[in-house]
Structure 1
Amino acid sequence: MTARRVVHEPSKLVMETRVSPVAIQRSIWDGRIPLEIVLAPSESRTYDKTDPYLISFPRISYLPALLPKLRAFFSTSLIEPDSKYHEGWFAFEGVPLKWHYPIGLLFDLYAGVDPATRSSTPNPDPQEDESPLPWRLTVHFKDWPVEELVRLDANGMVMNDAFINSVKEADFLRNGTAKGIMSLSKEDSSGLWKAVEDVDLPAFQRISSILLPAPSQPFRNVPIRVFLPLPPDGDSPSLKVVQSPFPPSISTPSVQASQSISPRSSPSVQPQTVGGVLHTLLPNLFPSRRTPVLAKPVLHGAVLPMSAPIEEVIRTSAYGDGWAYVVVRMMG
């Protein structure tokens, strides 16, 4: 049961404002997901009798990082022994997994148990235990799904470039320009990706602090992507993503301004909240800005408070590329 608490602990910290932002970020970077990875039966000499590969993998990491170890582990079982590790790809229940998304997001999209119904008490009847952990994935080393995934390369440059491009997008939204990431030294630019690969938070914080505006300087817009639930009987496994530039604060008429006849009266400013963003983006799913009615937002495996200021969420709980990837989970 320890693994479950580790995976979902970050959201508890987000809701407790007395916890420091550094502690919240550390908790998120410490989050891990137990994985059970099997070789595709059609590629195995022993069909479905190959031993699985078991590992506890960081939530912020990316699946391609596992491919060299998996290729070595399954080498004696492969029907095609000449296959290369960078030809490997992952699937969950037959659906190819997007390798450019962090595994924490992929888990929340495809396998995350409902945070509202999770229990910390072990179930005495294992047959009734509906826990998705360990997450069971299938690895393939042939028949690359060219229509769903961009191919990887042996040097890891495709993965590196995808990550840096995502960082650039987030940097542009935060600052209105991508000069921050573009002005990084070559050492720091490559070091940012290496810090995520190595799950080295101190190294990551040193470089990311160059990109993030100071706390006294608000973001221009917040980098947030919202992933919609897939229909259970849908023909296409394509993910549906919604995003739009959102400022970290909104203007509302103050009481003083509404009662004053002075033309110099100005509106007050209040933080943009998670609920406000979701209501604006998806009013049919989030008719209320304050209370989840039909759906709830999930980040790092647990429900986000609707009242949480969105800029604070980004600063403390974004993934390594600077984005908050929020998964919409239907209620009921």
Structure 2
Amino acid sequence: MAMEHATLNAIQKIVWEGNLPLQITLASSESRTYDQTDPYLISYPRISYLPSLLPKLKAFFSSSLIDPAASPHDGWFSFEGVPLKWHYPVGLLYDLYAGADPATKSSDVDYSSDSPLPWQLVIHFTDWPNEELVRLDAKGMVMNDAFINSVKEADFVRNGTAKGIMSLSKDDSSGLWKAVQDVDLPSFQRIMNILLPQPNQPFRNLPIRLFLPLPPKPDSDSDSPTLKVVQSPIPPTITATQAASQTSQSILLSSSRILPGTGSPQTHQQHQTQTIGSALHSILPHLFPSRRTPVLAKPVLHGAVVPMSAPVEEVVRCSAYGDGWVYIVIRMMG
């Protein structure tokens, strides 16, 4: 049964209230005191982007910089030597590179030495990694344009056209990015409700990207893991024939899904709701041989394992990041 609109709003509010404790240290090669510079500590919204911190970080570390003339937009972040893509929300970056196993039994945050929190990042103001990151600008337009382009892509996937975002007023277009920067959920919801199909109107496809961390390439000089991003059209519903095909391929076929006396999967429903499990089984069948139970891998979103039975459209409506995309990290089990 579909969740009530109020329930989806409540989940979205929880998502937007999610924070990550960050411990940001100035690169020792850029510090007058080498590695003795005090770190910058902050509890930062998961939906936010790291470049928004650069003005504060430049001011905080200015007295320690060997090159005090560096500009805030010269700043870039790394984790364990890996430059972090600034156009990804910080919550996604954490889930990709440092997330603890989300299947924890305790809700208490552990800040012991073995804990991945606070997330320890390094800030650099020199030696920009041009081959890996696009440079930022002083006015923040590069960051703004990257966000809006991502919003347009999501809008096109949802509706088959980007007319929605293109027809927004100038105030609403700039207001969407400002709402994400300010973590202003009411303003964000007002504008996003213009872009999203109404609950009684179908999505054309659902804007979801899957991230698969891969081991380092054998011929690479780096021992850092690489990423594979998988994206495929995901409709909000699947036909009974598609569902039956998925069921027959599943290694966990349940006899309870067979109608008595027919010997075949149920086909009386013309369409069935697309779930996280059915979508993953369709796109990554080798990692998700079952559409009901995680066997080899599990989907992680906002630091939590997504139920395989969750309707994908509802996940998009309540758990997408600010640009409208649902970014799911695939984490291997065992």
Q: Does TM-score exceed 0.5, indicating one fold?
A: yes
Matched, 1:39 2:41: no
Q: Partner letter of residue 205 of structure 1?
A: Q
Within the candidate set 130, 142, 148, 2:132 is matched to 148
Deviations 1:131-152 (A, max 9, x none): 2110000000000000000000
* 42, 48, 59: which one aligns with 2:35: 48
Letter matched to residue 149 of structure 1: L
Aligned position for 2:46: 59
What is the aligned partner in structure 1 of residue 100 from structure 2? 113
Alignment check: 8 A CA contact 2:23 2:118 kept: yes
1:239 alignment partner, SS class:
strand
Partner-residue secondary structure (3-state), 1:315:
helix
What is the alpha-carbon distance in structure 2 between the residues aligned to residue 282 and residue 106 of structure 1? Answer: 22
1:39–1:272 Cα change, 3 Å: same
Cα deviation for residue 158 of structure 1 reads 0.2
* TM-score (structure 1 length as normaliser): 0.88
3-state SS, counterpart of residue 329 of structure 2: strand
| CA shift for structure 1 position 230 | 2.4
**Which sections of structure 1, spanning at least 5 residues, go unmatched?**
1-14, 260-264
Match of 2:151 in 1: 167
- Go from structure 1 to structure 2 and tell me whether the alpha carbon gap of 1:38 and 1:16 turns closer, same or farther (over 3 Å shift): farther
Q: Does 1:99 align with 2:83?
A: no
TM-score by length of 2: 0.87
Instruction: State the secondary structure of the residue aligned to 2:42.
Output: strand
Task: Tell me the CA shift for residue 223 of structure 1.
Answer: 0.2
2:311 to 285, 309, 312: 309
Matched residues, number: 309
Do the aligned partners of residues 30 and 126 (structure 1) sit closer, same or farther apart at CA in structure 2, a change above 3 Å counting?
closer
User: How far does residue 122 in structure 1 lie from its aligned partner after superposition?
Assistant: 7.2
Per mean C-alpha deviation after superposition, the further-off stretch among 20-29 and 228-237 is 228-237
Deviation at 1:218, TM superposition (A): 1.4
User: 2:186 aligned with 1:202, yes or no?
Assistant: yes
Q: CA RMSD in A?
A: 2.4
SS in 2 for 1:229: strand
Whole-Å Cα distance in 1 between the matches of residues 88 and 5 of structure 2?
31
Q: Distance in 2 between matches of 1:154 and 1:46?
A: 27
Q: Deviations over 1:192-240 (max 9, x none)?
A: 0000000000000010000000000111000000000221676464421
Describe the SS at the equivalent of 1:20: helix
Q: Tell me the CA shift for residue 117 of structure 1.
A: 3.7
Name the CA distance, whole Å, in 2 between partners of 1:281 and 1:88.
37
Matches within 5 A, 1:1-332: 20-117=7-104, 119-120=106-107, 126=112, 130-231=114-215, 235=220, 237-252=225-240, 268-332=270-334
Percent identity over paired residues: 71
- Following TM superposition, the consecutive aligned residue runs of length 4 or more in structure 1 with deviations greater than 4 angstroms are 15-19, 253-256
- The whole-number CA distance in structure 1 between the counterparts of 2:109 and 2:147 is 38
Deviates more, 1:245-254 or 1:313-322: 245-254
Name the counterpart of 1:6. none
Q: Secondary structure, in 3 states, of the residue corresponding to 2:20?
A: strand
Cα gap change, 1:134 to 1:296, in 2 (>3 Å): same
Q: State the Cα distance separating 1:280 from its structure 2 match.
A: 1.2
Q: How far apart in 2 are the matches of 1:207 and 1:160? A: 16
| Distance in 1, Cα, partners of 2:30 & 2:270 | 63
